[in-house]
Chains A and B, each alone.
Chain A
């Protein structure tokens, strides 16, 4: 467990929680990223600006933090260390499944896993347990196919 970082994880979690509280208390909106994106694509008049600015803030917050803390480990989008082509195919399949699944299931990690749990929503608890389970099983299968962690 040398990669275990409970303090920074909990601090980041606190910030995500505060962000969700601000959005709900001030604007009355749920901080579910997949919902914010699909709502933006639907482009209802008067409902787009806050969505675009929230997503812009999401990128800006990440950008600024990465600029300020230069000693951060850069992100690695290829966690299974696949070949370039296999990795791109995996990324695109993952993206399609994520977009499709979160639309059908009305939410993602943030909408169900952060905001839904905070409202003690039975639907969100069920959704979170379901995607956690299938995600763990998927990683197990991938590991079986490509071999264990080096």
Chain B
């Protein structure tokens, strides 16, 4: 049952990306490009999502747990650190270069295009690189803290 609803949720997400046009890099670049004919559509995508999530999340998170059991898997970090800002800054550069972020990239695999496959593969390699760098860093601080 959990799997079924995960699939339904994913389908609705893919539908939303396609209906909104955000699956199309041209549309995304049209929003990010303030030098030409600016297309503010992306604000309406985030606004449309925010209109429902900002209300529903408050109700959902008042429950003791998710409807299908288990517990809410929410990020526990609270503070703004260098990692968050540096990582997001790098992410933004990649987003500006390609006009694709992870959601639309995966969704675009539906078009069976070699270019999307190359993009998703490099995205996966990039996240492994991120994991490697972070694991190195953790080891470094640990050994530095040793007396």
Query: Which residues of A approach B to under 8 Å, CB–CB?
Result: 1-6, 8-31, 33-34, 37-38, 41, 49-51, 53-66, 72-80, 87-88, 90-110, 112-115, 117-123, 126-128, 130-140, 142-143, 148-149
Kindly state the separation between the CA atoms of A72 and B106 in the bound complex, as whole angstroms. Answer: 19
Once the chains bind, are A100 and B67 in contact (CB under 8 Å)?
A: no
A-B contact pairs, 30 of them (CB 8 A): A12-B15, A12-B17, A13-B46, A14-B16, A14-B48, A15-B19, A16-B49, A17-B51, A19-B10, A24-B66, A28-B65, A29-B66, A41-B127, A50-B2, A61-B15, A61-B107, A64-B11, A74-B111, A93-B122, A95-B98, A95-B126, A97-B93, A98-B126, A99-B123, A110-B101, A134-B88, A138-B32, A142-B96, A148-B36, A149-B35
Once the chains bind, are A143 and B39 in contact (CB under 8 Å)?
A: no
Once the chains bind, are A12 and B26 in contact (CB under 8 Å)?
A: no
**A-B contacts besides A58-B13, A66-B110, 4 pairs, CB < 8 Å:** A15-B20, A22-B9, A23-B9, A74-B111
Once the chains bind, are B18 and A62 in contact (CB under 8 Å)?
A: yes
- Which A residues touch B27, using CB under 8 A? 3
Of the candidates B9, B37, B66, B74, the one whose C-beta lies within 8 Å of that of A149 is B37
Main secondary structure of the interface of A (DSSP, over half): helix
Once the chains bind, are A75 and B20 in contact (CB under 8 Å)?
A: no
Once the chains bind, are A12 and B25 in contact (CB under 8 Å)?
A: no
- Which B residues touch A138, using CB under 8 A? 32, 92-93, 95-97
- Which B residues touch A51, using CB under 8 A? 6
Once the chains bind, are A61 and B94 in contact (CB under 8 Å)?
A: no
B75 within 8 A of A: yes
Kindly state the separation between the CA atoms of A73 and B45 in the bound complex, as whole angstroms. Answer: 18
Kindly state the separation between the CA atoms of A31 and B98 in the bound complex, as whole angstroms. Answer: 22
Once the chains bind, are B94 and A13 in contact (CB under 8 Å)?
A: no
Of all chain A residues, the one with the shortest Cβ separation from B82 is A104
Number of interface residues, chain B, beta carbon within 8 A: 118
Of the candidates B44, B99, B107, B133, the one whose C-beta lies within 8 Å of that of A104 is B133
* CB neighbors of A among B90-134 (8 A): 90-103, 105-111, 113, 115-116, 118-131, 133-134
Given contacts A16-B49, A92-B118, contact A100 B11 (CB under 8 A): no
Kindly state the separation between the CA atoms of A57 and B4 in the bound complex, as whole angstroms. Answer: 9
Kindly state the separation between the CA atoms of A133 and B103 in the bound complex, as whole angstroms. Answer: 20
Once the chains bind, are B85 and A100 in contact (CB under 8 Å)?
A: no
Given contacts A5-B41, A62-B23, A63-B110, contact A21 B53 (CB under 8 A): yes
Of all chain A residues, the one with the shortest Cβ separation from B40 is A4
Closest 9 interchain pairs by CB?
Answer: A12-B20, A13-B48, A99-B126, A105-B87, A57-B10, A138-B96, A61-B14, A103-B130, A97-B94
